[in-house]
Structure 1
Amino acid sequence: MMRAEPARTGEPPGLRASDTDRDRVVEVLTIAAGDGRLTPAELDERVEAALTARTLGELAVLTADLPEEAGPAPAKEVVRIEQRGAAATRSGAWTVPRRMEIESSWGDVTLDFSDAVIPYGTLRIDVEMRAGTLRLITRPGVVWTPTPW
């Protein structure tokens, strides 16, 4: 994960932040939450602070307790869940991909979005189930729109 610096190379922390600077910090925070480093409440609080920050110094404070790494790991485009005669669960502060493919026979699949980090505006879920149950647990603000095949 890339930590936002208090200032771009050699620039003072009091320098005004740009929209690009704010967006970069929001991305770092979202990835940190997906890694389990921030709770959903902390993520909400820090994202709000990032979007209203005026200076690079204000942005730097929001990522100061996060590790520096070579670069952000992007959220996966597709996650595939295959299971037979068992149960599969995604819960906690997991990062939601752009698309999920679920193939399940004689088992249950639970996707709990309560604490999930949702970096994309939509999630497509392709499901093929035989004699099983798909449970989707959402938080307020998540809208489910089934599409007929």
Structure 2
Amino acid sequence: MGELEPDPAQMRISDADRHRVAEILREAAGEGRLDLDELEERLGATYAARTYADLVPITLDLPVAGAATLPAQVSRAQASPVVPGPESESHVAILGGFDRKGVWIVPERLSVFAMMGGADLDLREAKFAAQEVVITVNCFMGGAQITVGPHVNVVMEGTGIMGGYSGPGDKVPAELDAGSPTVRVRGVAVWGGVAVERKALKRR
């Protein structure tokens, strides 16, 4: 019985690997490919990374030079959607907005309160701190838009009071497998609404 071949994508990275990716990000920001917010988010994800698979999506939309820091055997398709990340985050949008998009890490528990304001969460390029994450959105005269990709399972558990919670329809079909993360959406919408929409992955 032969020995199992190690998965290169799951090999632990060194500080030198993190520094190389960080330098790629800084160069991309200097060239105008990333704004300061994106740079900060990706640097955070870089220094939180533990394996080569964690690093792959961070440079996914940058020039091919970014991939040179990873072993040749690690393909982008091998990147796991689950990476080390925060257990919980809480955000408030009152008479204003809160949004997350691009490359970021969805914590295991994310809570958003919107009053006469709104939240826009785009998970299409996000990684997840757990195989199942819970997003709780409570809104009063406000709302939230949550966008997921084809490979994310969505469970709707919200309640609308003179408002509504709506899940992804079948406009873009789900493409789920055993490794697909689950996003559980909870909360109460009073005179407001929370909508989850499934869209195709962004093309670069």
Name the SS for the 1:134 alignment partner. strand
Name stretches of at least 5 consecutive residues in structure 2 with no aligned partner. Answer: 13-48, 159-186, 188-204
Choose the corresponding residue for 2:149, options 134, 139, 143: 139
AA aligned opposite 2:6: S
Alignment deviations for residues 17-36 of structure 1 (CA, whole Å, 9 cap, x no partner): 536x65345942354357x3
User: 1:143 and 1:74 mapped to 2: Cα distance?
Assistant: 20
1:37 to 28, 52, 59: 59
Determine if contact 1:30/1:119 at 8 Å carries over to the other structure: no
Q: Distance in 2 between matches of 1:136 and 1:80?
A: 16
**Which SS does the other structure have where 2:145 is aligned?**
strand
Q: Cα deviations across residues 40-99 of structure 1 (Å, max 9, x unaligned)? A: 9x799345399xxxxxxxxxxxxxxxxxxxxxx930111111121101110001111111
Give the TM-score of the pair, scaled to structure 1.
0.58
What residue number does 1:107 align with? 117
Structure 1, unmatched stretches of 5+, are 1-15, 51-72
Deviation of the 1:100 alpha carbon: 0.3
Question: What is the percent sequence identity of the aligned residues?
Answer: 19
Q: CA deviation at 1:147?
A: 1.9
Match for 2:126 among 116, 128, 133? 116
Q: Is the 8 A contact 2:113 2:137 kept in 1?
A: yes
CA distance in 1, matches of 2:114, 2:93: 5
Q: Work out which structure has the larger RCO, using CA pairs closer than 8 Å and 6 or more positions apart in sequence.
A: 1
Query: Alignment length, in residue pairs?
Result: 109
Aligned counterpart, 2:90: 80
Of 9, 23, 34, which residue of structure 1 is paired with 2:10?
A: 23
Deviation at 1:145, TM superposition (A): 0.7
Structure 1 residues 29 and 85, CA gap change in structure 2 (3 angstroms): farther
Q: Kindly state the Cα deviation for residue 139 of structure 1 after the two structures are TM-superposed.
A: 0.5
1:89 aligned partner: 99
Structure-2 residue corresponding to 1:48 = 78
**Amino acid of the residue matched to residue 100 of structure 1?**
L
Cα distance between partner residues in 2 of 1:82 and 1:120: 23
Structure 2 letter corresponding to 1:105? M
CA–CA separation in structure 1 for the residues paired with 2:149 and 2:116: 27
Which SS does the other structure have where 1:140 is aligned?
coil
C-alpha distance in structure 2 between counterparts of 1:81 and 1:30, whole Å: 29
Change (3 A) 1:142 1:111: same
Task: Find the aligned partners of 2:135 and 2:76 in 1 and give their Cα distance.
Answer: 29
Contact 2:50 2:84 survives alignment (8 Å): no
